[in-house]
Structure formats: C-alpha cells, structure tokens
Amino acid sequence: MSNTTIEIREIQPEDNPQIEAVIREVFIEYGLPLVGTAYADQETPQMFESYIGQKEVYYVVVMDGIVEGGGGLKPLHGMEDEVFEIQKMYFSNRLRGKGFGKQLFETCLAKGKSLGFSRAYLETIPVLKEAIHIYESNGFKHLKGPLGSTGHFNCGIWMEKKL
C-alpha cells in the first residue's frame, strides 16, 4: 500500500461514470433497496452537474487515479437556510476500512459549517452499520422521522447534528 496515492478533491465532469459505478456497486453489494434511495435518483449519473449550485459540493476519493468513493452536501430541501444534508457518501470495498470515509465525512461537516449552516442532516439504511458508527462517533443523534423533502422513503434512519 506504500505506493498507493489517495486524493480527496471536488468532483470533475469526467468523474461521473466512475462515481455512478461506485454508488450502484455498493447498492448491489449490500442488497439495498433500489427505489426510494440514491440508486434511483436522477442526479446519480450526473453528479458533477448535480452539485454546481451555491452552498453545495461533492467530493470524490481517488485511489491510484480511479474514483473509489465520494460524498457531498447540499442545502436540505425545505430547510435551506439552516440545514445541509450530507448526501451520497459511498465507497468501494477497495477503499473501505482505511479511514477515508471518516476523513471525507469530517471534510463535509467542516464545509457545511464554513458555508454558514447551523445543522447537518443525513439519511441512511440500517444495514450500513459501518457508516452509522462514523455518524454516531461524530455526534449525530437519531431522529424519529425525516426532515425536509428528500424523496428517499426507503432509508429508515435519520440523523442530525447541531454545529
């Protein structure tokens, strides 16, 4: 692993096919619901174009020149002034367990705070226990139901953190 190069950077147009493949790969690997989740989102095939608005950004994790994961943030629909949502944080099995999920998650939290948001929100699926552990260890608290209007009716876990 000593010759491996890892970079976390903002997404570029040419990254779209690779990050889409990673997202879809994770859904298949874990047997996650394909409807009512990021898998079916219209923005998944065009991630660069989906994160070019104000107060939003998507990062990719590149290992040896290949996009192996990513995650981003956007203002939460319906609560845009105060809450941002951490979105589409997925990592290939080649990248998991190396600390980059935690690093990218912390990058997103810092970016949201720097953009003036007072709260961070996320939705996830119960089987993604490694991700939930990262969220809890970063001070996220479980909610009884969703915030805003994400359209992800199949997630089942909603979490929030005051910044």
Q: What is the CA radius of gyration of the chain?
A: 15
Could you give the percent of the chain with pLDDT greater than 70? 94
Give the pLDDT mean for 25-49: 89
> Which of helix, strand or coil describes residue 22?
helix
Could you give the percent of the chain with pLDDT greater than 90? 65
CA dihedral sign of residues 150, 42, 132, 33? positive
Domains and CATH numbers, the chain: 6-117 (3.40.630.30)
Spatial neighbors of 61 by CB under 8 A, at least 6 apart, are 6, 7, 8, 67, 68, 69, 70, 91, 95, 100, 104
- Cα separation of the two ends of the chain: 35
- Residue 54's identity, in one-letter code, is Q
pLDDT tens, position by position, 53-81: 999 999 999 999 999 999 999 999 888 88
pTM of the predicted structure, to 2 decimals: 0.90
pLDDT band for position 113 (50/70/90)?
A: very high
- Residue 86's identity, in one-letter code, is I
Whether residue 26 has pLDDT greater than 70:
yes
Spatial neighbors of 149 by CB under 8 A, at least 6 apart, are 77, 78
